[in-house]
């Protein structure tokens, strides 16, 4: 699916989703991290890796797009309320294609509770669970 920006308020350089598809109950998404991404210059210059918090952000962005494709529209802008059980298993490096599989645990116009697994190739690099709530700020 193209036109990700019609489903998210995020814009470059803070947009971390390239493609989203719905397969049954699963949200599948990808993002290719470029060596030119702004954060690699300082995280870490001699061994650049994607900050773990941006991996969770990527999954949450993809989950937000997927929820909308499944018919869940927030009353206002969804924002993180809780991140739990985030486990980082391997680093993600410049040039890696990050694939995500997200599932909805609870999805309404007020609360979006999701779980995701992120991979590079066949290797699981992150697992996380998060909750977002409608903020009252218009999207």
Q: Which of 10, 31, 43, 113 is catalytic?
A: 43
Sheet containing 123-134: order of strands: 19-23, 26-32, 97-107, 111-120, 123-134, 78-88
For the chain, state the CA radius of gyration.
Answer: 14
- Distance, in Å, from the CA atom of 135 to the CA atom of 16, rounded to the nearest integer, reads 21
Q: Are 61 and 14 in contact (CB under 8 A)?
A: no
Residue 31 is among the residues annotated as catalytic for this protein: no
**Phi and psi for 82 in degrees, rounded to 5?**
-160, 140
- Distance, in Å, from the CA atom of 20 to the CA atom of 13, rounded to the nearest integer, reads 18
By annotation, the residues acting in catalysis are 43
């Amino acid at each position: 699916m193209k036109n990700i920006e019609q489903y998210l308020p995020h814009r470059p350089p803070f947009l971390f989703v390239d493609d989203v598809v719905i397969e049954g109950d699963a949200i599948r998404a990808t993002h290719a991290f470029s060596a030119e991404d702004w954060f690699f210059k300082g995280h870490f210059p001699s061994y650049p890796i994607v900050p773990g918090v941006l991996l969770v952000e990527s999954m949450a962005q993809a989950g937000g797009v997927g929820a909308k494709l499944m018919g869940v529209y927030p009353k206002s802008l969804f924002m993180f309320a809780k991140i739990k059980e985030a486990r980082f298993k391997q680093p993600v490096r410049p040039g890696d294609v990050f694939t995500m599989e997200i599932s909805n645990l609870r999805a309404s116009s007020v609360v979006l509770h999701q779980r995701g697994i992120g991979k590079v190739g066949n290797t699981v690099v992150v697992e996380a669970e998060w909750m977002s709530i409608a903020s009252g700020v218009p999207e």
